[in-house]
Amino acid sequence: MTDCKILEGGVVAPQGFKANGIHAGIRANKDKIDLSLIYSEIRAKASAVYTSNLVKGAPIYVTKANINDGFAQAVIGNSGNANTCNADGIEIATKTCELLAKELNIDSKDVIVASTGVIGLPLSIKPFESGMKELVAGLGNTKEKAELAVKGIMTTDTVKKEIAVEFEVDGKLARIGAMTKGSGMIHPNLATMLCFITTDCNISNLMLDKALRDVVSDTFNMLSVDGDTSTNDTVAILANGLAGNTEICKNDKEYNKFYAALHYVCEELVKMMAKDGEGATKLLICNVVGAKTEKDAKLVSKTVICSSLLKAAIFGSDANWGRVLCAIGYSNADVDVTKVDVSFKSRKGEILVCKNGSGVPFSEEEAKKILLEDEIEVFVNLNNGKGESKAFGCDLTYDYVKINGDYRS
């Protein structure tokens, strides 16, 4: 863990941020909050990364254009409808920004807009028109308000996913808060996730963008639940500078402190998402060391956690290590398979199941005990260099099919 303190409050933990969430009527279930807002009291530096899918939600195009200047002041997101593959999608997203800007008395170009939910379902502007005044009027900086905002972007998520930390930079205390959603349709190079990060750290646009992209490469892009890359993925960060530190403008020790805190926040969110994968009962982490390069380590760790056969074996607490070797073999990484060691690890201990690419005697009973835990690590040593990587996923269960068999209903 990096040198930071865990706080309550999620996205409102940093100075100058407020949040809220309401039921606006986008979703039929009146008990479901479906519209979320995060607001910075002053205009903030902004950066974002998006899905690699060629089919993109309309809000992504609007957000890209809005924060092209590197600034934003508010984030609005809805659940229940992805606003994707709709003829008037961009018009709806743009109008949403304008409605919010009018209530907040800010420029509509300073709004990040995002949607998640069913693809191809027409989205009406009416819920936004009728709910915007209530949404803005209810803004607050309490942990309860932050929780409402988290709930407003949840779809098949079963738990809210938020975190906040405090760390020292330039002799000042700075904070990072974040919230995310994502449970299914999740695969490396972003997933069906919306992740919004706030910080009061004073950092330049260039270094903020660098930090976000580098962290995402090692965290969100190393996450897979089901192999499907979604259309609406957005990870956005706002930095309003209210912590009062000297602006971070270069890759120095102060930048490294910020980067370490941001990396910790994002990795913790990734673990939450993987553990809450649709139908999942276990968090699965593949930790690869000894790769020829970092690229090879990433290829191996991603491929292992994406293996449907391995994911099913983990669900059944079956130490079927051959499925790990099989995945490594088709990963396209530069690997000497005669040097590969594999072990399974959990709170109950660790057991070596493969040495130098071949099976070794082990206790099936002990392995079962280890794999019955809800957090499982597959440890792979390629014994071929210094490259390292972690990837995050979950087991594959009967419930995944049940959830996605009637998702639209």
What is the domain-level CATH number for residue 334?
A: 3.10.20.340
Task: Please answer whether residues 117 and 127 qualify as being in contact, where contact means their C-beta atoms are separated by less than 8 angstroms.
Answer: no
Strand partners, 39: 18, 74
| Residue finishing a domain among 250, 275, 300 | 275
Closest alpha carbon to 271 in 262, 284, 288, 281: 284
289 and 253 inside one domain: no
| Residue finishing a domain among 251, 275, 299 | 275
Distance separating alpha carbons of residues 198 and 394, to the nearest angstrom = 27
Structural domain total, the chain:
2
Least confidently predicted of 43-47, 92-96, 308-312: 308-312
238 and 291 inside one domain: no
Give mean pLDDT, residues 38-45: 98
| Residue finishing a domain among 235, 250, 275 | 275
Rounded mean pLDDT of the chain?
92
Q: Name which residue leads in pLDDT, 56 or 178.
A: 178
* Domain housing 236: 5-275
65 and 139 inside one domain: yes
Confidence at residue 227, expressed as pLDDT on a 0 to 100 scale: 54
pLDDT band of residue 190 (cuts 50, 70, 90) is low
236 and 288 inside one domain: no
Task: Please answer whether residues 19 and 39 qualify as being in contact, where contact means their C-beta atoms are separated by less than 8 angstroms.
Answer: yes
Closest alpha carbon to 191 in 149, 163, 157: 157
pLDDT tops 50 at residue 409: no
271 and 371 inside one domain: no
197 and 165 inside one domain: yes
211 and 332 inside one domain: no
143 and 88 inside one domain: yes
pLDDT tops 80 at residue 399: no
CATH number at residue 137: 3.60.70.12
244 and 330 inside one domain: no
271 and 302 inside one domain: no
pLDDT tens profile 238-256:
999 999 999 999 999 999 9
Q: Name which residue leads in pLDDT, 276 or 327.
A: 327
Task: Based on the residue annotation, tell me whether 192 is a catalytic residue of this protein.
Answer: yes
Q: Name which residue leads in pLDDT, 53 or 176.
A: 176
Catalytic residue among 84, 94, 96, 192: 192
Confidence at residue 191, expressed as pLDDT on a 0 to 100 scale: 45
302 and 262 inside one domain: no
Least confidently predicted of 74-78, 167-171, 179-183, 261-265: 179-183
267 and 177 inside one domain: yes
Work out the number of other CB atoms within 10 angstroms of the CB of residue 409: 4
pLDDT band of residue 407 (cuts 50, 70, 90) is low
Confidence at residue 92, expressed as pLDDT on a 0 to 100 scale: 98
